[in-house]
Amino acid sequence: MEPNGPVSSPQDDAARPRWSVGSGSGLHYGSFVNSLSSLTPNAVENPAISPRRAHIAIAVLCYINLLNYMERYTIAGVLSNIQVFFGISDSTAGLLQTVFICSFLLLAPLFGYLGDRYNRKYIMIGGLSVWLVTAAGSSFVSSSQFWLLVVLRALVGIGEASYSTVAPTIIGDLFTGGKRSIMICIFYVFIPVGSGLGYIAGAGSSALTGDWHWALRITPIMGVVGLILMIFLCPNPPRGAAETHGEGVTGHSSYKEDIKYLLKNKSYVLSSLGVTALAFLTGALAFWLPTFLSRAHVTQGLRPPCLQERCDSTDSYIFGAVTVATGILGGSLGTCLSRWFRDKVPNADPLICAVGMLGSVPCLFITIFVASASIPATYVFIFFGELLLSLNWAVLADILLYVVVPTRRATAEALQISVGHLLGDAGSPYLLGVISDAIRASKPKTYDWSFQSLKYSLLVCPFVGVVGGVFFLMTALYITEDRKAVEQLLGDTSQPQQDPAPESSVEMSDKAKN
């Protein structure tokens, strides 16, 4: 891999200095005493990537993000078939998602480190290639090789880790201000949209072919197209290009210094803890709700129990459609609220996230207890619960981009992903499966008791939602100050300062080399 940087001639480099976030003087968070405007008073706007190419890149990144989350939840769409095929319990079934997330989070810090220092496009291409091969390979596993399916799911997580840590930072370097908020919203809307389509594609392909293995072959086929598009259409902009009018910002810091910087950033730490609670909640619900609804149908006598491999996939279709709709509506609404209130209420973003998390809690409680009585009412409250949770995705991504300096955003993304998955959705599907199995073992096994045991295990989710809401409320106390610190560093090149700037952690890269 080659180090990232803008393509320019030696003459250009001599005439046009690069902006640098150096670590030689410490770069203590919140102590930025220079703005880039004081360093480059004569800077002229010079976009590193043309607007047309930037919008094409967004389309490619969104398409791959869609496939990323489709692949992640196709298994949930055919989970009942997989349990019958391999003869596994709830806890063992939950292990499939857990090993995927564990490998994902373990490799995320590595890709974050590489993403802040090397060519991000090459990193994504390599990771996407690994993902395509392993995801396709997992569809050829026989009934006696469940262990192989587990191993391949873990390898799929390695491939996806490279993309998820790097792609948002590229968007942050292509756009700024309100336009970046919109692009981030579009990108993150594909998380719930892809998740919902994953259920639909998984259940649909299984129903059409009569074989659940085809559910795992759809996204790799579509992924080949994404890989080709990325190779030819996705750029690798200079880090910080959007904020510095195409110049970019270079970094001279060790990984240890990056981690210290992030841990001193209170908004980043607290919002990451909120993301962790959100990941726990959405991971558990996404994996188990279709199965929970299917068992509710059996309990009410509306459907016979699944005893053969081709189980009824109606709930996966409906749940997938609800997830798509709430993802689009919630993501768009969250971004609109953020843009509307940001100038009026400086700490509006974390408050929106807190409202989304806390507002979803009563909806989840009602969903869990109404399922045994009314399936339509259950879907209504699932809709509102997911809508409120979907307010958060784009807003949280925007928070990270404006409270972290450009040269440390990939590391910040990676660390947030690692912590969020480690304490969130890496264990939540498995944990709920273990609780369900433990409760079920306390009484003779019946179809009604299988439903009740899963219902009681899902009660963990509302309590986690309350904890996440508290973390977002705490973030609101610090976010204004932390955002101003980054803005002070990056500055506004259209307003030059006449006084000479003192030595600080922000310095010309040419000077740093001497």
Q: What is the 3-state secondary structure (H, E, C) of 276-318?
A: HHHHHHHHHHHHHHHHHHHHHHHHCCCCCCCCCCCCCCHHHHH
Q: Which of 216-230, 238-252, 285-299, 500-514 has the lowest mean pLDDT?
A: 500-514
What fold characterizes domain 48-241?
A: Growth Hormone; Chain: A; (1.20.1250)
**What average pLDDT does this structure show over 308-313?**
65
> Among 129, 132, 135, 130, which residue's Cα sits nearest to residue 152?
135
pLDDT, one tens digit per residue, over 361-399 is: 999 999 999 998 899 999 999 999 999 998 987 888 889
pLDDT at 187: 87
Residues 6+ apart with CB under 8 A from 439: 452, 453, 456, 457
Q: Are 117 and 257 spatial neighbours (Cβ–Cβ below 8 Å)? A: no
200 in Cβ contact with 317 (< 8 Å)? yes
CB distance 257 to 27 below 8 Å: yes
pLDDT digits (tens, 9 = 90+) for 404-449: 888 788 788 878 877 887 788 877 888 898 899 899 888 887 888 8
Q: Name the residue among 47, 69, 45 with its Cα closest to residue 57.
A: 47
Find out whether 186 and 58 touch, Cβ atoms under 8 Å: yes
**Under DSSP, is residue 218 helix (H, G, I), strand (E, B) or coil?**
helix
Distance CA 223, CA 196 (A): 17
Question: What is the structure's pLDDT at 356?
Answer: 95
Q: 357 pLDDT exceeds 90?
A: yes
Q: What is the CATH number of domain 253-492?
A: 1.20.1250.20
Q: Give burial (CB, 10 Å; 0-12/13-18/19+) of 304.
A: exposed
Read off the pLDDT of residues 118-134 as tens digits, 9 standing for 90 and up.
888 898 898 889 888 98
How deeply is 487 buried, as exposed, middle or buried, from its count of CB atoms within 10 A (0-12, 13-18, 19+)?
Answer: middle
| Dihedral, CA of residue 309, residue 315, residue 318 and residue 320, to nearest 10 | -60
Residue range(s) of every CATH 1.20.1250.20 domain in the chain = 48-241, 253-492
Using the predicted structure, report yes or no on whether residue 503 has a pLDDT greater than 70. Answer: no
Residues sharing a CB contact under 8 Å with residue 118, sequence separation 6 or more, in sequence order = 1, 2, 3, 4
Task: Count CB atoms within 10 A of the CB of residue 291.
Answer: 25
- Show Cβ contacts of residue 352 under 8 Å, excluding neighbours closer than 6 positions: 334, 337, 338, 341, 391, 392, 395
pTM above 0.75, yes or no: no
pLDDT band, residue 491 (cuts 50/70/90): low
Over the range 145-155, which residues count as b (16 or more CB within 10 Å of their CB) and which as e?
ebeebbbbbbb
Q: Mention every residue, 6+ apart, whose C-beta is less than 8 A from residue 441.
A: none
Q: Which of 250-264, 316-330, 381-395, 493-507 has the highest mean pLDDT?
A: 381-395
pLDDT grade for 202, boundaries at 50, 70 and 90: confident
